[in-house]
Copies of this chain bind each other. A is one copy, B any other.
Amino acid sequence: MRLDAGAPDFEAAFAALVDARRDVDEDVSSAVTTILADVRARGDVAVAERTVQFDGHDLAATGWRIDRATCRAALDALDPALRDAIELAAERIRTYHAAQKPADRDSTDAAGVRLGARWSPVESAGLYVPGGRAAYPSSVLMNAIPAKVAGVGRLAMVTPTPGGVINPLVLAAAEIAGVDEVWRIGGAQAVAALAYGTDRIAPVDVIVGPGNAWVAEAKRQLYGRVGIDMVAGPSEIVVIADGDNDPEWIAADLLSQAEHDPTSQSILFTDDAGFGDAVADAVTRQLTTLATAATAATSWADNGAIIVVPTLADATPLCDRLAPEHLELAVADPEALFAMVRHAGSVFLGRHTPEAVGDYVGGPNHVLPTGRRARFASGLSVLDFMKRTSFLACDAASIAQIGPAAVALATAEGLPAHGRSVALRLGS
């Protein structure tokens, strides 16, 4: 799609782009409710039956767990260059997330009241890893490492192994990330097992990780019983680029998002119409040699856009309306544009920072809010695996100072036992 921000019909066309729902609506809600109730009631038996039904293998024969030795063997069998790459990625992700660990607070104020907050990790977390095409080792690292950095004692991974087949890269990544348990189950039944627990699988406190519509719906229905990460939609990228970029580089960036899924979205804003044309041509050319061309071409045709703006500064308020998961600022001085951006999951600054480097080895998390959720949500972090306990301590002198106000408010709110519990401590 080609849009010109100066055209009279631009606002209508852009508004349609902002409002487009790219999610595939699949109403699995009642089917998932049934599976959750079944696993809650019948535990492992229900999980095993659904695994035969959906994944086509018998857990009694294939085994429920993949043991540590198998993960270790998968790691040892890796091509050394690939192993080095995974280890570099893990190290950079670990370092970035270690700096996210929040500080405790503890201080005493002028009234003599001590107050503060103490952070602690959740005891256990579950990590969903899709089977098949979307079984990415990078996703294992990005979900597991923040949990381990947070100090989670037990990290249980579930992954479907359709037909019994396992992706060794995923096992190697689990080993590097320090995953404690690997279960060869998937779908809503695996999420239910993690949330409720079964005879074999102890329950967890938090469940994270990407999945299909069934997995997403199971997490949504269990939200509140366990903590979950944000429900994710199709991936997206916005590139803001001037005419001094190499069109081939920008075309590759747009395609790197488009190749994920037909529902992915890639949008270029540029102030140079000729450059926009050159990128469009480069996209067409690169598609001819891309192994993922079928997916990428559909995504680009259905959801891609090149939008010409008078100046790049005009792109930032439009970009804020999209609140994109990924935003590249491919200009010589990205700082000025970055200062104008309000809503984006992750930003890639300058011509030499393709979004894909952040998918693997940048360090920041690649699990990011999609579908305009960057207006209010953040990428996965150590905080998703921790919780904060606030605390307060008064002595006789400090309760005498602030207590009377509490009594007044409790009385006004019609809560006399609240008032009494404070009043009894006054003047004692």
Residues of A bordering B, CB below 8 Å: 81-82, 84-86, 88-89, 92, 95-96, 99-100, 102, 105, 109, 113-115, 117, 120, 122-123, 133, 136-138, 169, 205-206, 220, 223-224, 226-227, 230-231, 246, 248-249, 252-253, 255-256, 258-260, 286, 290-292, 296, 334, 338, 341-365, 368-369, 373-379, 381, 383, 387-396, 398-399, 402-406, 408-410, 412-422, 424-425, 428
Query: Contacts A138-B413, A405-B88, A425-B352 hold; do A418 and B377 have CB atoms under 8 A apart?
Result: no
Chain B residues, CB < 8 A from A373:
224
Most buried by B among A292, A343, A362: A362
Contact across chains for B349 and A114 when beta carbons are under 8 A apart? yes
Enumerate chain B residues within 8 angstroms of A359, measured Cβ to Cβ: 406, 410, 418
Q: Given contacts A347-B391, A347-B392, A354-B425, list 11 more A-B pairs with CB under 8 A.
A: A92-B402, A138-B413, A205-B375, A220-B224, A223-B231, A259-B416, A259-B418, A260-B415, A290-B420, A356-B419, A360-B405
Assembled-state Cα–Cα distance A323/B95 (Å): 31
Nearest to A404 among chain B residues (CB) is: B85
Bound CA–CA A226/B425 (angstroms): 43
Measured between alpha carbons, how far is A169 from B92 in the docked complex, in Å? Answer: 52
- CB pairs A–B below 8 angstroms (5 shown): A292-B414, A292-B416, A349-B393, A353-B399, A374-B389
A342 neighbours in B (Cβ, 8 Å) = 120, 123
Residues in B with CB closer than 8 Å to A364 are 115, 117, 390-392
- Of A334, A402, A420, most buried by chain B (CB within 10 Å of CB) is A420
Residue in B closest to A383 when the chains form the complex, CB atoms: B383
Residues in B with CB closer than 8 Å to A86 are 409
- Chain B residues contacting A395 (CB-CB under 8 Å) are 350, 352
| Contact assessment for B346 and A392 in the assembled complex, using a CB-CB cutoff below 8 Å | yes
- Given A341-B389, A347-B391, A362-B115, is A256 in contact with B138 using a C-beta cutoff of 8 Å? no
Q: Known contacts being A363-B113, A408-B81, is A389 close to B95, with CB within 8 Å?
A: no
Residue among A122, A360, A374, A375 with the most chain B CB within 10 A?
A360
Say whether B376 contacts A381, CB under 8 Å: no
Bound CA–CA A362/B418 (angstroms): 14
When chains A and B are docked, how far (Å) is the Cα of A85 from the Cα of B409?
7
Residues A376 and B406 in contact in the complex (CB < 8 Å), given A354-B421, A390-B347, A422-B357: no
Enumerate chain B residues within 8 angstroms of A413, measured Cβ to Cβ.
136-138, 169
A405 with B89: CB separation less than 8 A: yes
Residues of B within 8 A of A120 (CB): 342-343
Give Cα distance in the complex from A2 to B203, angstroms. 29
Which residue of chain B lies nearest to A363 when distances are taken between CB atoms in the complex?
A: B115
By a CB distance below 8 angstroms, the chain B residues around A334 are 393
